[in-house]
Each structure stands twice: as structure tokens, then as C-alpha cells.
Structure 1
Amino acid sequence: MSTPVVLVAGLHASARTAAVDRLLAEHPGSVAVHHDLRSVTLDRVRRVVRDSSGTLDVADVLLAHGCVTCTVREDLLPQLVRLAATASLLVVDLWDSVEPRSVAEAIDCEEAHDDLRLTSVLTALDAAYLPVDITRGDRLAEIGKPAASGDRRYLAEVLARQLEYATGLVLHGGDEEDTDLSRTVLAHLAPVTPVHRVTGLPHPSGPTLCTAELAERVDPATAQLPCDAQTDEITTVVWHHTRPLHPARLFEAVDELVTQSVRSRGRFWLANRHERMLAWDAVAGVVSVEDAGPWLIALPEAAWDMISPARRTAATLDWNPVRGDRVQHLVFTGPDLDRERIHTLLDSCLLTPQEEQAGPDAWAGYDDPFAPILSLKEAA
């Protein structure tokens, strides 16, 4: 019988610790494993194993290949398998800036299926800090929370990924007003994810999570994006269109779009990159644009059998006999967003009817300011 495993992530250490403590207290025989990365820039990682009574074991772990992610995965999985023999529940207490997806996928491996059963991915959040932290453009290294030497990620970027990937969100700390505001923020950023207080955590026993399905919830081609919404001062604006975008005009609009909103993401179609889906991901004024692979219409039909049902379903929702699944689907969230202004700005970036009639051969010759960004990411 496999042992259930719960991942608890979160930049807010006090909230995460409170959630882990609660799990240990409520489930006799449970054990938590934590990798402390405070000394990671000195090539040291400390592993701490504990239960409800206190610390059971502390050990220093050498960095594998100079990579913290590899070290945590290669040390964590054997530890979990060893502990599964006697533990009723295993809790993985992730370091502040570790994103849960890579750890979840490492645990969900064939060699550990007989011993481990990943049942929940929780992200613990401090209600007093969440509404502010999701707007902060600080790098992790600037606030002392890097997960590796040379970690260039941003605080808000990691926080967004932690809460959008989770199967459950846990609020701790703050007063009633903080909690209400945090719930409102989360209802916009992760509207389908249940929100709990530390005193009401979901039971960890249950079926094994499929990490492939978890990934499809956040990957650009299949992401469960928020809908248009207005709650007090917080607004979510959805822009959906079926004409291609002019690369130069969109590039000129990027700064205004990312500074007006706190969080935006989605998939889009540049005219000069007719066959490629592009992913938009921005938080706290920092934007990332990446190639997310071919549109389904650009693939030979023989390859469609290898495409996941979720991808085919998402494509079907936007399908057109001529353009296939090519679409503009961007979502923006922030305080008091001007829906009309965002729509007008993005509409102005679309090809004109005359430009659209010229066709893909003409579009291919457009100047593309995104090319250096995309080339850099492809080479990385």
C-alpha cells in the first residue's frame, strides 16, 4: 500500500510551517521532510526530518552537479521512499522559493509508484502579505530567498506559479480584512482552486494526482484561464480574438499592458510566426514571451493521436475551418483595470483587413522586435 504524500509550498515561511505543523498534528505517524536552502550560495543544503514531537534527523547534503533542484530531487525521493515504510503520511515542506511543479513531477515517477502516492499540492500564503507580494518586482536574491546561486527569478513570478499550480490554497495570518482581500485576489488569480484556512485543511488521503493533468492546468495551450470578473476594486479582463497580431504594434503596447495590470497570461498568435503558438506570462511589471510549440492546425493529422485529450479539447473550443486553433486569448488582472482601454489597445495591434488579406507570405516579412527575446529563450 503506497503512502500518501502532500507537497506544501509557499514563499511565506510562517504560513507554510503552520500548515505543515497542522498536518503533522492531525495525522498520527506523519513525517515531514524539509530542505533548508538558506546557505545554498555556499553550496550547502540542510535536510531536516521531523514529526509532531520534534526533529528526528538533520543532515547536510552536497549539491549535485552544482544544481539545487537536482540535489533536492535526488535526495528527497530516496528519503521519502525510506520513510514510507513506517509513516502514515509524508509531508514535503518545500523551501520558500521552490516551485512545486518540478518536485511533484519528480515524486510522480514509475520507480516510486509502489511506495508513494502524491495526493495534494498545497500552497500556504500569509494573508497579511499576499496582496502586496503579488505586486512586488523584487528579485529573490535581493530579499535573501534564492533557490540557487545566480537565481534571477522574481518574488511575484514565483508566488504566481506556486498558487496557480496548487490543488489547494491555505491562508494563515493577517486579520479579517487581510483574509477577505486575499480571498478576493485568489478568486481572480486561481478561481477554480479551493481556499482553506490552516484549521480546515483537506484530508490528505485520496487518489494519486496525475502530474500531467496538473501541468495542463497551467501550460499555455491548455491553461484554465480566469474569466471576466469585477470584485470591488479588483478587475479581470479577458481579450479574445481570431485575427493575427502585428509584431511591431504589439511590442509597442507591451509596456502599457504589463504596467496597467498586476498579472496577465495566455496564448497569442503573431502574424509573422504563423505556425507557432506564443505564451504570454507577466506579473508585477515583468513580462515573459516564449514559444509554446506549434498550433494544432500546423501539425500533420497523423500527429494528432499523440496530442493529449486536454489539448485537443482546448483547440476544439477555438476551432475554425480556415485558421484552426490559432487564437488570441490573454487575461489581465489588477486594481481598477480599464477594460475598454485594454481592448482598444490590443485591437489596435491586430492586422488591418488589408494586411490580413495579404496572407502569411507577406506577414513573414514583417519586422519582429520579439525575435531577439524568442531566440534567446530558444538558445537557453
Structure 2
Amino acid sequence: MELIVVTSLDALCRQQACEDLAAARPGSIVVLHDLLENGTVVRRTFTGAGEIERGESFLEHGCLSCAVRLDLVPGIERLIQDSPGKGTPGPIIIGLAPATPAHAAITALNEKLADRATVSSVILALAPDALEDHIWDAHTLYESGFTPMVEDERTPGECLIGELAFADTVLVTEPEIVPPDPEGRERGLHLVRQLAPHADLAASAKEDLHDPFGLEQAG
């Protein structure tokens, strides 16, 4: 079974990325994972027909790593066990809870599912016109509203730099709720290329070309 992991700082960017990836890969299953206040974990599963499962649980120690190990991984394992009988042709697209370190999620998935599933791609969903502001944001993730965990002292910039270093693809997402800033978008695209030269920069979920914006040639 193929797994595609989507990481993001922002839930709207994650949502758009997962929807676009599923549209580009018919037969996909999308799993959205969220950690709410007081240790509440919500896991929603979708196919092209709509939502097929919604699970809600409470973790006594409600941190992102526990949410992944104790809820997300067992949920993915059940989907894999059920998929042969249901003829699932596409990958499982996993939308991590905002600010979840992708490397921690991949480690947990590989430890439990390595013999039955392969993570084919780790995709960072990002609005490029917001990247510069996130990098310079001196508040913690909690103070900036990206996580319910008061104890998480990472800044948005620290989180994004880590995800840029780990992801193999950066997928440009621009939620319609906020009109993009053209100048900020251009600076953000160049920043992505400088901070993550190893990663493919994709203009859409259907984009297979490396660096479709031509930033390498532009210097």
C-alpha cells in the first residue's frame, strides 16, 4: 500500500493539498488527523464518495507524537487491513495535524507498517506568500494559534524549517479565503528554493516537473 504524507503549518493549506492530491489520484483514501484542546484527537476518513469514517478519542497525554502513535497509526493500519476486500486502487493520503513533525510521523508509520505500506512522498503544503512572515514570527506555535499545545515552544519558523528540510516535495497551496500577495508569493518561492534545494517545487498536485516556476534558471 502506498502512503502519501502531507505536512503543513496551516489546516487550510493541508485541506487544499489533500483534496487536490486525491483529485489527481482517483481511488485515493484521505485521512485528516487533528489534535484539539484537552487532548481530543479527531480522525476523519474520506473517499471520492465523501466521509466514510469519523473517530474521536481522548489522550491523557495529548501531544502530537502520542496522537500519531496511539491514534493515527492504528487507524491507518485498519485501513490497510480492510483495503484488499474493498479493492482500494489509490494511495492513502495522510493529512497530519498542523505542526506535526513529519519525521516523527514517518518513524511511527515505518515502525508499525513497514512490511505492509511504503511512504512514497512527504509533501509540505505551503502558501508561499506567508512563508517569510512565518519565519520571522517570534511567537510560539501555541501563541500564533497553530497548535493547542501550550508546551510546544517551537516558533512557526522553526517548525517550517524542519519540514522544509525533511519533505521531498513542496506543494504550493493558496486557500481562497485570503487573496495571495504577488510580491510575497515571489519572495516565498525563492525562499523555498534556497531553503529546500533538494525538494521538488510543485505548482499543483498534478505537477511532476522539478522546479516548474523556473527559479533555478532565474538565480
Q: 1:108 is matched with which residue: 91, 94, 110?
A: 110
Higher RCO (CA 8 Å, separation ≥ 6 residues): 2
Residue equivalent to 1:142 = 143
Q: 1:25 aligned to 2:58? A: no
Separation in 2, partners of 1:67, 1:138: 19
Is residue 7–residue 120 contact of structure 1 (8 Å, CA) maintained in 2?
Answer: yes
Is residue 168–residue 193 contact of structure 1 (8 Å, CA) maintained in 2?
Answer: yes
1:317-336 equivalences in 2 (<5 Å): none
| Structure 1 residues 106 and 200: CA distance shift in structure 2, 3 A | same
Residue equivalent to 1:6 = 4
Q: Tell me the TM-score normalised to structure 1 length.
A: 0.49
Q: Deviations over 1:201-248 (max 9, x none)?
A: 449xxxxxxxxxxxxxxxxxxxxxxxxxxx88xxxxxxxxxxxxxxxx
Q: Deviations over 1:78-133 (max 9, x none)?
A: 21122124232111101111110100111112x41232111100001012211221
Residue equivalent to 1:360 = none
2:164 corresponds to which letter in structure 1? L
Which structure has the larger Rg over C-alpha atoms?
Answer: 1
Q: 1:191 aligned to 2:197? A: yes
Is residue 28–residue 47 contact of structure 2 (8 Å, CA) maintained in 1?
Answer: yes
Q: 1:147: Cα distance to partner?
A: 5.3
Separation in 1, partners of 2:138, 2:149: 19
Is residue 121–residue 167 contact of structure 1 (8 Å, CA) maintained in 2?
Answer: yes
Residue equivalent to 2:74 = 78
Q: 1:74: Cα distance to partner?
A: 2.2
Separation in 1, partners of 2:141, 2:60: 22
Q: Secondary structure at the match of 2:129?
A: coil
**Structure 1 portions without partners, runs of 5+:** 204-230, 233-380
| Structure 1 residues 112 and 64: CA distance shift in structure 2, 3 A | farther
Separation in 2, partners of 1:82, 1:202: 30
Residue equivalent to 1:34 = 32
Residue equivalent to 2:44 = 48
Q: 1:179: Cα distance to partner?
A: 3.4
Residue equivalent to 1:158 = 159
Q: Deviations over 1:281-301 (max 9, x none)?
A: xxxxxxxxxxxxxxxxxxxxx
Residue equivalent to 1:61 = 57
2:54 corresponds to which letter in structure 1? V
Q: 1:5: Cα distance to partner?
A: 0.3
**Structure 2 portions without partners, runs of 5+:** 175-179, 210-217
Is residue 64–residue 71 contact of structure 1 (8 Å, CA) maintained in 2?
Answer: no
Is residue 6–residue 92 contact of structure 1 (8 Å, CA) maintained in 2?
Answer: yes
2:160 corresponds to which letter in structure 1? L
Residue equivalent to 2:214 = none
Q: Tell me the TM-score normalised to structure 2 length.
A: 0.82
1:1-380 equivalences in 2 (<5 Å): 3-37=1-35, 39-40=36-37, 42-63=38-59, 65-84=61-80, 85-86=82-83, 87=88, 88-109=90-111, 111-146=112-147, 148-173=149-174, 174=180, 176-202=182-208
Number of equivalences: 200
